[in-house]
Amino acid sequence: MGKPLLAPVLRSLAQGLHQEDGKGVALLLPFLLAGGYSLASRPFWGGGRQCKLRGMEKLEALKRLFPGKVDLSESERLRHGKDEGYPLARPVLAVVYPENVEDVQKALQWAREWEVAVIPYGAGTSLEGHLYPTREAISLDLSRMNRLLEVRPEDFLCVVEPGLTRKALNEALKGTGLFFPVDPGADASLGGMAATNASGTTTVRYGGMRQNVLALQVVLAGGEVLELGRPVRKTSSGYDLKDLFIGSEGTLGVITRLTLRLHPLPEHVHTLRVFFPGVEEAVEASYRVMATGLPVARLELLDELAMRALNRYLGAGLPERPALFLEFHASTKEALEAESTLALELMREAGALSVEAAKTEEERKRQWEARHQAYWALVHLYPGHHFVITDVAVPLSRLAEMVRYAQSLMAEMGLAGNILGHVGDGNFHTLVPVLPEAYPKAEAYAERLVERALELGGTCTAEHGVGLRKKRFLPKEHGNALEWMRKIKALLDPEGLLNPGKVLDISPSPGYS
């Protein structure tokens, strides 16, 4: 088969890559990664003369609608058709930079008229194929909507536009005595974080996005603007539509404003690194800390490989042993001392070998910076590799068993991955570096890990979201509830314009009536 014939075949195969039956992953990804990819990654448009004329016409209409706010360069179109974790990329038709809610409405109207999909874009740090276009699409890059609109310290809240990043928000809050706690490893946008229900190292104490978003403004596919939630700590008023949009991954609406809960900066902070002979002892120690109800503010697991990668990448000089990184926040020195002393006792009983405490604010920052760099450190250690990242969570009492299973499964399958965990939340990641030919093996590992997590009452993704890659696990995790999710999608986005192909497929699962 010559190239001109092969390209459309590959494109349509690539479209079906992550159907819920999961077969495409095993059959296609290795081939695409090994080179067929360059054909499958071509844009969707092209084709005959008529098609090209229509393509030019719609782009002209878009440029007229958004003077100075459209980027058609190849590099930007490709950058917006990929995320940080998915191995494939494909250029979007155009990148549009809205500057206000009216621009978002106009872009959606244009999309409806020309039957082009819309993929909202925050900072592009998602990991599961969230931004990869499965059909002709524009990227709606919200980075110009990045203002901090209001801070109300007396109510512990602020109002932001979606393109503001978490680091920029905390920088702007300096001097108020308040902070926004949710801290995924990357400097993500707050809109993107809400859209993926992100969490981070402090979630064990302060909660993730669902617990910290009080209200949202959302534009629906049809252009209607909804105000969801109230700037209060509690409400029992009506169905909770705000939480429906949190974690909807750009498939139900575009988030254009967020009201966020802020927290007082802790008066006293104690930061520790505790080293263990093995990962199992570290997980057991984390369970004991949680079981006593200690108000730990951060409780993170890093295995030996993660520590080795950090040493190579940052010259961190860390002992190359499994470790728990912990932090305690308290309002008095006495409370802080009592809490950390008890935690240390519990961890020693569970087998801790040694402890290092941060003595200065600088050391404290370095510790958490290292934790946030753990992904990049591994990428650096394995140049030229793709990464299969797992994100399971299980009930706390089953975490040790789950981590043990992950370790033995990787060994059995001849895979070398590291284990990083928000273990206080029962959630851990394995990052498995592989060359293209070993990709199916790593995906098979991820599948077995998810199956085990589901058997133990867990979830396939605790924080990264579904995107394309984890779609195949949803029928098993959600059963017939998935059909009701489809109905919600069909109700809110009947033309299927918003980030199509992500989270779920529109057609029902076989056997559902």
Ligand X SMILES: Cc1cc2nc3c(=O)[nH]c(=O)nc-3n(C[C@H](O)[C@H](O)[C@H](O)COP(=O)(O)OP(=O)(O)OC[C@H]3O[C@@H](n4cnc5c(N)ncnc54)[C@H](O)[C@@H]3O)c2cc1C
Number of residues interacting with ligand X: please give it, by CB under 6 A: 37
Region from 36-44, 126-134, 325-333, 485-493 binding ligand X, contact rule CB under 6 A? 126-134
Assign 120 to helix, strand or coil.
strand
| Residue whose CB is less far from ligand X, 192 or 440 | 192
Q: Which has the closest alpha carbon to 306: 319, 287, 288?
A: 319
Judged by CB under 6 A, which of 15, 41, 105, 126 binds ligand X? 126
Give the x-and-dash track for 369-408 against ligand X (CB under 6 A): ------x---------------------------------
Q: Does 105 bind ligand X (CB under 6 A)?
A: no
81 is a site residue for ligand X (CB under 6 A): no
Using the rule CB under 6 A, is 121 a contact of ligand X? yes
Using CB under 6 A, pick the residue from 40, 62, 137, 195 that binds ligand X: 195
Q: Does 124 bind ligand X (CB under 6 A)?
A: yes
- Smallest separation, CB 424 to ligand X (Å): 13
Question: Of these, 228, 254, 285, 450, which contacts ligand X (CB under 6 A)?
Answer: 254
* Stretch of 119-127, 223-231, 235-243, 482-490 contacting ligand X, by CB under 6 A: 119-127
Count CB-CB contacts under 10 A for residue 315.
Answer: 8
**Nearest to ligand X of 15, 196 (CB atom):** 196
Report in angstroms how near the CB of residue 422 gets to ligand X at its nearest: 7
CA atoms within 13 A on the CB side of 303: 21
Closest approach of ligand X to the CB of residue 122, in Å: 3
What is the nearest approach in angstroms of ligand X to the Cβ of residue 513? 30
Q: Give the SS3 label for residue 154.
A: helix
Structure-block tokens of residue 159: 């109002």
For 150, other C-beta atoms within 10 Å of its C-beta total 11
Sheet containing 418-422: order of strands: 354-357, 268-275, 323-330, 296-302, 418-422, 427-434, 386-389
Which burial class, exposed, middle or buried, applies to 435 when counting CB atoms under 10 A from its CB (0-12, 13-18, 19+)?
A: middle
Closest to ligand X by CB, 215 vs 336, is 215
- Among all residues, whose Cβ is closest to ligand X? 192
Q: What is the rounded CA–CA span in Å between residue 327 and residue 216? A: 31
> Cβ closer to ligand X: 81 or 185?
185
Residues in the chain: 513
CA angle 151/152/153 to nearest 5° reads: 105
Report the C-alpha gap between 207 and 209 in whole angstroms.
7
Could you identify the residue written with the tokens 């910076």?
Answer: 369
Residue whose CB is less far from ligand X, 141 or 339 = 141
Rounded Cα distance, 363 and 508, in Å: 52
Pick from 88, 137, 228, 255 the residue near ligand X by CB under 6 A. 255
Place of tokens 């999608």: 489
Beta carbons within 8 Å of 439's beta carbon, 6+ residues apart: 29, 30, 33, 87, 386, 388
User: For ligand X, which residue of 20, 83, 284, 300 counts as binding (CB under 6 A)?
Assistant: 83
Confirm or reject binding of residue 460 to ligand X (CB under 6 A).
no
Considering the rule CB under 6 A, would residue 84 count as an interface residue with ligand X? yes
Q: Identify whether the C-beta of residue 460 lies closer than 8 Å to the C-beta of residue 454.
A: yes
Give burial (CB, 10 Å; 0-12/13-18/19+) of 412.
Answer: exposed
* Site track 479-508 with ligand X (rule: CB under 6 A), x = hit: --------------------x--x------
Q: What number of CA atoms fall less than 13 Å from residue 255's CA on the CB side? A: 38
Interaction of residue 213 with ligand X, rule CB under 6 A: no
Binding to ligand X by residue 96, rule CB under 6 A?
A: no
Per-residue mark of binding to ligand X, 154-193 (x: CB under 6 A): --------x---------------------xxx-xx-xxx
From 198-206, 296-304, 319-327, 357-365, span contacting ligand X (CB under 6 A): 198-206
Nearer to ligand X by C-beta: 160 or 294? Answer: 160
Choose between 162 and 426: whose C-beta lies nearer to ligand X: 162
Nearest CA among 431, 270, 429 for reference residue 338:
270
| CB-based contact 508:489 (threshold 8 Å) | no
Residue 111 to residue 407: CA distance in whole angstroms: 47
Residue 249 as a binder of ligand X (CB under 6 A): the answer is yes
Contacting residues toward ligand X, per CB under 6 A:
83-84, 119-127, 130-131, 142, 162, 184-186, 188-189, 191-193, 195-196, 198-200, 249-250, 254-255, 375, 463-464, 499, 502
